[in-house]
Amino acid sequence: MEYSAREIADFLQGKIEGDQDVKVTQISKIEEASAGTMTFLANPAYTPFVYKTGASIVLVQDDFVPEQEIRATLIRVQDPYGALAKLLELYQKSLPKKEGVSDLAFISHNAEVHESAYIGAFAYIGNNVKLGKNVKIYPHCFIDDFVTIADNTILYSGVKVYNSCRIGSDCTIHANAVIGADGFGFAPQTDNNYKKVAQIGNVVIEDLVEIGAGTTIDRATMGSTTIKKGVKLDNLIQIGHNAVIGENTVMAAQAGVAGSSKIGKNCMIGGQAGISGHLTIGDDVKMAAQAGVPSSIKDGQIIMGSPAMEASQYRKAFIYFRNFEKLVKRIDELEKEIRKQKE
């Protein structure tokens, strides 16, 4: 693909400074860009690179004021990062589309597969499965009995969806994610053994959800584990049985949610955060990376640390954590001095 600065500016409704006819064929990082590529400046920390970048076109904030001469053509937009996202989406749509059903796929005789669906080689489509319009099932996926997948959803290679789970429209599930494996339910016995509790529920994933590679979402013991509309889950996340993740909540890699916890809408959860079971996390909560959450959190709180506490409280306490060795030494010295005075 090749686009001129004029075409890009028209698409983004931006303002050009420089050569309107310069053309680009690729998008690159500002510190690594070369001629014929386009880049963007969204983070002020990267401003020095804009003066020496080899890119032909740079997207910048509409109020950006250069302090030196810039060789590249600038396109001023309100939000450079958002504008880049639009361009990447345009590029992705231009790529060849996966179509058809492979002769090497297995499709049950009573599965309902829309004629526009794509099913790759060695995919397995079980009994009474329903696949909507433009669903894409990449090679080596396993779709168990009674699963429903709505329109425009993509399952990349190796995704496993256990029986009776439901996936909404416009979802993306990346490679090797597992949807609907048994929840971690075991009843302790008097002989110190554990008896497995049957997990007879399912997983319900609503519309516009994205799930990263290797993420696992356990089926409910009874009822449903629910991922609400607009949720974005990173790679290698664990969601326990009967958990609920609220609308438009985002979670970074390696976070974990134990069984039956309910997370509100519009939350932001950092990498490796751990949330104990049977908790209620309010709306608009933000958790720093590696937060350990043992108790419920009210709406709008910002928490960090393990055990987690309000961020402002944690930062104050951290001053003492950092100087703990010095404080102990001072206490030891004071105790020695007190003993001398007593003697």
The most distant pair of C-alpha atoms in the chain lies apart, rounded to whole Å, by 94
Q: Are 71 and 55 in contact (CB under 8 A)?
A: no
Identify the burial level of 242 via C-beta atoms within 10 angstroms of its C-beta, where 0-12 means exposed, 13-18 middle and 19 or more buried: buried
Q: Are 195 and 178 in contact (CB under 8 A)?
A: no
Q: How far apart are CA 202 and CA 57, in angstroms?
A: 49
Assess whether 241 carries a catalytic annotation: yes
Reported as type and span, the H/E element at residue 90 is helix 80-94
Reading the block at residue 219, the tokens are: 């089926």
Q: How far apart are CA 48 and CA 37, in angstroms?
A: 18
Q: How far apart are CA 253 and CA 271, in angstroms?
A: 5
Lookup result for tokens 């104050």: 316
Q: Which of 313, 282, 277 is nearest to 293 (CA)?
A: 277
> The dihedral of CA 115, 117, 123, 127: what is its sign?
negative
Name the β-bridge partners of 211.
173, 233
Q: Which of 114, 140, 174, 241 is catalytic?
A: 241
Q: Which of 259, 176, 186, 274 is nearest to 224 (CA)?
A: 259
Name the β-bridge partners of 74.
17, 58
DSSP 221: S
Q: Which residues are catalytic?
A: 241
